[in-house]
Structure 1
Amino acid sequence: MRYVNRTVAATAILALVAGGALAEDKKTLAIVVKGLDNPFFEQINLGCQDWAANNPDSEYECLYTGPASSADESGQVQLVDDLITKGVAAIAISPSNAPAMANRLKEIAPSMPVMTVDADLSEDNRSLRATFLGTDNYLMGVMMAEQAQKLKPEGGTVCLQLGNVAADNINARAAGFRDTVAGAKGTDRLTGEGGWSEIEGCPVFTNDQIDLANQQMADVFTTNPDLDAFILIGGWAQFAPQAYAQVTDQVMDKLKSNELIIIAGDTLPPQVQAFNEGRSHAQVGQRPFEMGQRAPDVMIDLINGVDVGDPLYTGLDVCTHDDPGFCSQ
């Protein structure tokens, strides 16, 4: 898996689009993520840049953008509104708040192709987009549950850490986790199914805020000293290596003995480092670079009326200490 650590002034690029200052005669393929403050999305940006570097003669430009903060749901909706009004050729959206984004798309009724990437619209609104490109998020939750079951075959107490309450991709992972350990579809909360019970006060919602994610972990560990498993449905806390190290320092003895297990989503470089330091037991990684790299070609196909299929899944990678895979040092 390919990861590169560098940033791009996406907001400046958006300003160029607004002013018509991108390369002459280039049409814009826009990728709008939840927020520019999340390093996961920077990998989508790098995929977008890679596509541009490999297609210099294309009539299209790949534009990566999003609100400054992942918590700015209304800002993302407004940004999508602005891009559609300005007339981009196609747009790929990772909606923070799926219902809010769907409501605005219904109001705008855009004429250009709209797809989703990374996160989808809610099932009852998926007719508003042409296709979804990204992770099979329910399967990702299933795989996280399988790791928990291997490590804790008798089950135990668990806390799930989620992101935005209305993020379809995160909710799908939580559903996959709960259904798998419960052995039944449609499990809203674990209350002993398969030996697993969610503790009081959980799940916790980070609203995609990295500092809040670490504070929540610390609070849960302090108030629940007998907790058996903490599941980071997304990788938020691990995106701040120093803070995450401080939080996990307080439970390192339990982590080493498997008394407490941590399973986390994603495999960005700081997360791989945390895994190798024994600060998690398994990482289930998405492929965001591939999402950014493929999205422009999918949008071009949609513009040209090609049936691209729906959904378009990118793969998943699992790192465990028995089989670290690409996470090995």
Structure 2
Amino acid sequence: MRRNLLLLGAAAVLAISVGSSLAQDKKTLAIVVKGLDNPFFEQINLGCQKWMSENADSEYECLYTGPASSADEAGEVQIVDDLLTRGVAAIAISPSNAPAMANRIRQIAPSVPVMTIDADFLADDRDLRKTYLGTDNYLMGVKMAEEAAKLKADGGTVCLQLGNVAADNINARAQGFRDTAAGEKGVDRLTGQNGWTEIDGCPVFTNDQADLANQQMADTFIANPDLDAFILIGGWAQFAPQAYTQVTDQVMDKLKSKDLIIIAGDTLPPQTKAFRDGRSHAQVGQRPFEMGYRAPDVMMQLINGDSVDDPLFTGLDICNQEDPGFCADN
């Protein structure tokens, strides 16, 4: 019952938003993210709003939406379904469950341009979208492995923390990390290659929930006191800074001595502070604001039939102890 109410609530908000657009005689460029509870996606919203402020006279408006919870994969599919049914000029989707979203898009066969943002469809379903705008996620995983290797030249025991099981972007990062750590392509699991071994019980999956991410970290540290590396493929635990501080307080001596290293994805303000406080050794950040800011223009190009590159990568920001870079001032 509660799930149905959430879906109905999301649909109601959506109806108001789209209705407002129609009342203003503006065409809707929709951005649908995995969940409104994730601060990473709020940066995409800020980019969308910045575009709106600079294009007040445009015939288009940027609509940012998604399910209340990042764990609500079915809710995201329903929102996309509702938007396409009600009528939008184009849509950019960050699919939480890539196969489920692709299956629905294939069933609907929308006449309006569909693109992906932040997270892509699986390779076999990419014919359904015109382009992907966001991070080169495999490269992001590569960079995380390179940072780990700088700190642990001989490898060690490692736990990867992932998000949703079917999220293509997260899985691509994990693949990039494993391939780079192992020194070979197509590695399903690290079992000693170049000294790296994934511990039993890992990877762990957060379902994009910050509280669960922190609990998983705490449990892993307790169960594996000799763990060499914990890799946050996404920044979930750090999105709850108080809880993350409490978890890392328990291993601060190990973090300072680098007996235990933490490499994390993303560079939002709570994360850069965690880095400056010595609660991570490197951050590999995406550029979500740029994704939200660029998406409306890309959708307009698609509507106009213009040639658009595929993919459109937005780059990475890397912070480490040798070069704090972006993390020093943000």
Specify the alignment match of 2:126 in structure 1.
126
Write the letter of the residue equivalent to 2:111: S
Query: Structure 1: how far apart are the matches of 2:204 and 2:238?
Result: 16
Query: Structure 2: how far apart are the matches of 1:178 and 1:14?
Result: 40
Write the letter of the residue equivalent to 1:201: G
Write the letter of the residue equivalent to 1:100: A
Specify the alignment match of 2:155 in structure 1.
155
1:141 lines up with 2:141 in the alignment: yes
Write the letter of the residue equivalent to 1:313: F
Q: Is the 8 A contact 1:13 1:63 kept in 2?
A: no
Specify the alignment match of 1:66 in structure 2.
66
Instruction: Specify whether residues 322 and 295 from structure 1 end up closer, same or farther in structure 2 by C-alpha distance, changes over 3 A only.
Output: same
Superposed CA offset, 1:222-249 (max 9, x none)? 0000000000000000000000000000
- Any idea what SS the aligned residue of 2:47 has? helix
Superposed CA offset, 1:177-226 (max 9, x none)? 00001011100000000110000000000010110000000000000000
Write the letter of the residue equivalent to 2:251: V
Specify the alignment match of 2:7 in structure 1.
none
Specify the alignment match of 1:99 in structure 2.
99
Instruction: Specify whether residues 220 and 59 from structure 1 end up closer, same or farther in structure 2 by C-alpha distance, changes over 3 A only.
Output: same
Query: Structure 1: how far apart are the matches of 2:41 and 2:168?
Result: 16
How many Å apart are 1:15 and its aligned residue?
A: 3.2
Query: Structure 1: how far apart are the matches of 2:80 and 2:264?
Result: 30
- Any idea what SS the aligned residue of 1:164 has? coil
How many Å apart are 1:22 and its aligned residue?
A: 5.2
- Any idea what SS the aligned residue of 1:19 has? helix
Q: Is the 8 A contact 1:16 1:22 kept in 2?
A: no
Specify the alignment match of 1:261 in structure 2.
261
Specify the alignment match of 1:215 in structure 2.
215
- CA RMSD across the alignment: 1.3
How many Å apart are 1:17 and its aligned residue?
A: 3.2
How many Å apart are 1:13 and its aligned residue?
A: 5.7
Equivalent residues in 2 for 1:65-84, closer than 5 Å: 65-84=65-84
Query: Structure 2: how far apart are the matches of 1:293 and 1:13?
Result: 22
Instruction: Specify whether residues 21 and 177 from structure 1 end up closer, same or farther in structure 2 by C-alpha distance, changes over 3 A only.
Output: closer
Specify the alignment match of 1:5 in structure 2.
none
Q: Is the 8 A contact 1:11 1:65 kept in 2?
A: no
Query: Structure 2: how far apart are the matches of 1:291 and 1:315?
Result: 10
Query: Structure 1: how far apart are the matches of 2:131 and 2:98?
Result: 15
More helix by share: 2
Specify the alignment match of 1:112 in structure 2.
112
Q: Is the 8 A contact 1:238 1:271 kept in 2?
A: yes
Specify the alignment match of 2:3 in structure 1.
none
- Any idea what SS the aligned residue of 1:197 has? strand
Instruction: Specify whether residues 252 and 146 from structure 1 end up closer, same or farther in structure 2 by C-alpha distance, changes over 3 A only.
Output: same
Q: Which runs of 5+ in 2 are unaligned?
A: 1-9
Equivalent residues in 2 for 1:180-329, closer than 5 Å: 180-329=180-329
Instruction: Specify whether residues 11 and 85 from structure 1 end up closer, same or farther in structure 2 by C-alpha distance, changes over 3 A only.
Output: closer
Query: Structure 2: how far apart are the matches of 1:26 and 1:19?
Result: 10
Q: Is the 8 A contact 2:141 2:233 kept in 1?
A: yes
Query: Structure 1: how far apart are the matches of 2:26 and 2:180?
Result: 47
Query: Structure 1: how far apart are the matches of 2:267 and 2:28?
Result: 30
Off by >4 Å, runs of 4+ in structure 1: 10-13, 20-23
Write the letter of the residue equivalent to 2:171: N
- Any idea what SS the aligned residue of 2:115 has? strand
Identity %: 79
How many Å apart are 1:24 and its aligned residue?
A: 1.6
